[in-house]
Amino acid sequence: MIFDKSIKAFHEAQKHIPGGVNSPVRSFGSVGGNPPFIAKASGSKITDIDGNEYIDYVGSWGPMILGHAHPDVVKAIQETAALGASFGAPTELETEIAVLIKKLVPSIDMVRMVNSGTEATMSALRLARGYTGRNLVIKFEGCYHGHNDSFLIQAGSGALTFGTPNTPGVTPGTAHDTLIAQYNDLPSVERLFEDHKNEIAAVILEPITGNMGVIIPDQIFINGLRKLCDENKTVLIFDEVMTGFRIKKGCAQELLGITPDLTTFGKIIGGGLPVGAYGGKQEIMDMLAPKGPVYQAGTLSGNPLAMAAGITTLRLLDKTPDFYDNLENTSASLEEGLQNNMKELGFDGVINRVGSMFTLFFTKENSVKSFADVKKCDTTRFANYFKMSLQNGIYLAPSQYEAGFISAAHTKEDIQKTVEASYMAMKKLKE
């Protein structure tokens, strides 16, 4: 494959945009090399500006569950745009998407639209604090909730239970209000509740993680969190920005059988346009301005184009017969193919998959269940596998610590080609 135009484009972008990109992971920092600049996409394929075509397993990091440029979504955006892009005044589309989300996710009594997942989690945390009158939040190491100051926090050293900033620009004061626990480790959460009685406003987590790769919670862990939150009158927030409408029609909470107090959404609910949302129990949502005292606003919130794309996407997920079963079948066949490759070649690796979200961990361990497990992966090996895949026309997320996404547009042929390319790459890596 030739990447001349992308190399030139990246060089030019770096003169004007920090690192040449508008979100760090796009720069290929953790795998090396030059990111292809994208010209267009359709269905399961994306095409770069040099004309190389790839089978896409990034899907814009989750939103494109229908595949790229789905004709119904394109049409909805075009028709809505012709009526005006934004009014800063109420539209019926906003009620329509709220009704749809409520129908699909029973834990949602009320929902507020925002413009990104980051905004959704930031606002949900403020609401939980306003509702409980408490300051502290528990988050899990390895979970990502967008780039709010409150969540860019890592575990403090030694005996400290308070977090410390994991980027310059976050104040120690903010870090002090975030406590860090370990995923799939209930005692690590119990200890924090014991040390901070009546001080914890919220526990937030990815109910199935994608942002440290796919990790599935033990039922005992997730049930335990629900119980701890109930006992301590703490708001349980499921960050379903990635898992929402990805895992199941009723999201990860349906699969796990847990009712969170608040849920955050993003990605799929915008159909590829910038969107976030948060919602949940009536009593908590009633605290939001203008009904209640907790302030939150947005000039472009509920934007008609984003609502139209989101409504069209959610309707299709809802109405297409066997949508999630078909997605499961395609995804299972990819997993099976990769498992067979590894068995045949004696290649070390663990595949974690839930529905159409999967990660192939390059590890000698037998399972990956925690951030500590994730950190044992061979990222150099991943980087080499990634580069070979790209050369073979398979576009994977450029980091070991990410989920891959399969869309409804992925075909049997796509999967077969991917499994064959993967076999060749694994074989090379074994040599």
Ligand X SMILES: *Cc1c(COP(=O)(O)O)cnc(C)c1O
Query: Cβ(67)–Cβ(43) under 8 Å?
Result: yes
Residue count of the chain: 431
Applying CB under 6 A, does 94 fall inside the site for ligand X?
Answer: no
Residue closer to ligand X by CB (options 44, 118) is 118
**What is d(CA 240, CA 67) in angstroms, rounded to the nearest whole number?**
20
Query: Cβ(214)–Cβ(238) under 8 Å?
Result: no
Q: Are strands 153-155 and 178-181 parallel, antiparallel or unpaired?
A: unpaired
Active site (annotated) includes residue 72: no
Query: Cβ(248)–Cβ(255) under 8 Å?
Result: yes
Query: Cβ(331)–Cβ(358) under 8 Å?
Result: yes
Residue closer to ligand X by CB (options 266, 304) is 266
Structure tokens at 423: 């076999």
Residue closer to ligand X by CB (options 93, 124) is 124
| Region from 95-103, 235-243, 325-333, 367-375 binding ligand X, contact rule CB under 6 A | 235-243
Site for ligand X in 265-284 (CB under 6 A): 266, 276
Query: Cβ(122)–Cβ(264) under 8 Å?
Result: no
Active site (annotated) includes residue 325: no
Burial class of 292 by CB neighbour count within 10 A (0 to 12, 13 to 18, 19+): middle
Q: In the complex, what is the shortest distance from the CB of residue 212 to ligand X, in angstroms, rounded to a whole number? A: 11
| Region from 129-137, 182-190, 205-213, 309-317 binding ligand X, contact rule CB under 6 A | 205-213
Binding mask of the shown chain, residues 247 to 266, with x at each position contacting ligand X by CB under 6 A:
-------------------x
In the list 94, 177, 185, 206, the residue contacting ligand X (rule: CB under 6 A) is 206
Residue closer to ligand X by CB (options 357, 419) is 357
| Region from 10-18, 113-121, 288-296, 320-328 binding ligand X, contact rule CB under 6 A | 113-121
Marked catalytic residue, from 56, 177, 185, 239: 239
Q: In the complex, what is the shortest distance from the CB of residue 183 to ligand X, in angstroms, rounded to a whole number? A: 13
Q: Are strands 45-48 and 357-361 parallel, antiparallel or unpaired?
A: unpaired
Applying CB under 6 A, does 177 fall inside the site for ligand X?
Answer: no
Residue 251 has phi, psi (to 5 degrees) of: 70, -175
User: Which residue has 């403020």 as its token pair?
Assistant: 126
Applying CB under 6 A, does 117 fall inside the site for ligand X?
Answer: yes
Binding mask of the shown chain, residues 133 to 172, with x at each position contacting ligand X by CB under 6 A:
-----------xxx--------------------------
In the list 214, 241, 294, 425, the residue contacting ligand X (rule: CB under 6 A) is 241
Query: Cβ(371)–Cβ(182) under 8 Å?
Result: yes
Residue 378 per-residue DSSP state: -
57 Cβ contact list (under 8 Å, min separation 6): 394, 395, 396, 397, 404, 405, 406, 418
| Region from 81-89, 112-120, 194-202, 277-285 binding ligand X, contact rule CB under 6 A | 112-120
Active site (annotated) includes residue 385: no
Catalytic site positions: 144, 239, 267
Residues that bind ligand X (CB under 6 A): 116-118, 121, 144-146, 206, 210-211, 239, 241-242, 266, 276
